[in-house]
Amino acid sequence: MWDDYYRGDGIPRADAALPTPPPWRTFPTPSPAEVFRPPQGLTDAVNAALSLRRPLLITGGPGTGKSTVIEQVAAELALGPVLRWHITSRSTLADALYRYDALGRIHAHRLEQEKARAGQVAAADDVADFLTLGQLGTALLPSPRPRALLIDEIDKADLDLPGDLLDVLERGEFHITELLREAQEEAQVRMWNTDARHLVRRGHVQCTEFPFIVMTSNGEQDLPAAFLRRCVRFTMPKPTAALMRAVVRGHLQLDVGDSGPEAELIDDFVRRVASGENVAVDQLLGTLHLLKGTTGSPQENSRLIDLLMKDLSSA
């Protein structure tokens, strides 16, 4: 089934056609919002979070669509591009609000001093040129509609981060210390991931529409009760055969019947997840994509399934 591609014989084949990529691996990547199918109860959780102006905390295994939810909500409700904050053990609230490039400012100040000594006109020192709002800081800017913010894998954070978030999530505001220190009445501060700037007065940022925040968790650590109390919580259900058939239909335009190799693969995937194995939906989709339309022998197909459907808990 792979004879047209890599053969391992060292013979160059510049004219060899490469395989067609799956739909979700074409670039620019198409929006997943059109093919995502929310499980029962998720729309209620989203609408509750929107109505209460509370973050939505979604817990579930890898590849269950946790981070795709916000893409679909933002597309349907015209909330604009999704801001993404990917959490690691080194993530801090301060960096998510704004970042101050102190070293860059010192370097720029020295360059302007050299210009002045050379008789050239030196630019004025503006602290705003060295400030950049983070993902959360940009989401909290005043806006006519809520901004969409994904806080991905909150359970990977340092133990203090959920507690640090509480005040900001309650008040919807923060201060930029550097602007307060220099008593700067107005400053044009760069927003996250863009060259566009936003006017900040007296170092104070206050949202007018609380952002729509989705936080995802793999359940790797417990979160504080005070933090959970301020969230609407939803747990992604275990996959069913019917749900997986709908997912496959949406992503691969493939209708899987009640029998056959594809149906057996889906049933085996559902069984493995139910028994506690750590396998993801995108593994299933990738395997079905490669098996679709192939003429490989049962032994070749079995080797391919073993290669792609490995438990994620093992090396």
pLDDT at position 15 is 85
In the chain, how many domains are there? 2
% of residues, the chain, pLDDT over 90: 62
Same domain, 201 and 246: no
Residue in the structure block whose two tokens are 């170092």: 203
Report in angstroms the alpha-carbon separations of 200 from 142, 176, 183, 184: 10, 9, 12, 10
Question: How many Cβ atoms sit within 10 Å of the Cβ of residue 161?
Answer: 19
| Domain limit, last residue, from 186, 201, 235 | 235
Same domain, 83 and 196: yes
pLDDT at position 72 is 95
Structural domain containing residue 284? 238-308
* 2 band by pLDDT with thresholds 50, 70 and 90: low
Same domain, 265 and 206: no
What would the pLDDT profile of 126-163 be if each residue is shown by its tens digit? 899 999 999 999 999 999 999 999 999 999 999 899 99
* 293 band by pLDDT with thresholds 50, 70 and 90: low
Q: Are the C-beta atoms of residues 152 and 85 closer than 8 Å to each other?
A: yes
Same domain, 75 and 136: yes
pLDDT at position 32 is 78
What would the pLDDT profile of 171-203 be if each residue is shown by its tens digit? 999 999 999 999 999 999 999 999 999 999 999
pLDDT at position 62 is 79
Q: Are strands 173-175 and 204-206 parallel, antiparallel or unpaired?
A: antiparallel
- Tell me whether residue 110 is in a domain: yes
Its pTM surpasses 0.95 = no
Calculate mean pLDDT across residues 218-224.
86
3-state secondary structure of 204: strand
- Tell me whether residue 222 is in a domain: yes
| Domain limit, last residue, from 235, 252, 270 | 235
Q: Please, where are the H alpha helices in 202-297?
A: 225-228, 241-252, 261-274, 281-291
* 315 band by pLDDT with thresholds 50, 70 and 90: low
| Domain limit, last residue, from 235, 254, 269 | 235
> Mean pLDDT lowest for which of 95-109, 181-195, 296-310?
296-310
pLDDT at position 267 is 96
Same domain, 144 and 227: yes
CATH of the domain at 61: 3.40.50.300
* 33 band by pLDDT with thresholds 50, 70 and 90: confident
Same domain, 47 and 93: yes
Calculate mean pLDDT across residues 65-91.
94
What would the pLDDT profile of 228-244 be if each residue is shown by its tens digit? 999 999 999 988 999 89
Q: E strands of the chain, at which residues?
A: 56-59, 83-86, 98-100, 131-133, 148-152, 173-175, 186-190, 197-201, 204-206, 212-217, 232-235
Higher pLDDT among residues 13 and 171, named by residue: 171
| Length of the chain counted residue by residue | 315
Same domain, 138 and 104: yes
Same domain, 229 and 243: no
Higher pLDDT among residues 18 and 204, named by residue: 204
Buried b (16+ CB within 10 A) or exposed e, 163-175: eebeebbeebebe
Same domain, 55 and 127: yes
Same domain, 68 and 217: yes
- Tell me whether residue 302 is in a domain: yes
Same domain, 202 and 129: yes
Same domain, 207 and 254: no
Query: CB-side exposure of 83: number of CA atoms within 13 Å?
Result: 25
- Tell me whether residue 315 is in a domain: no
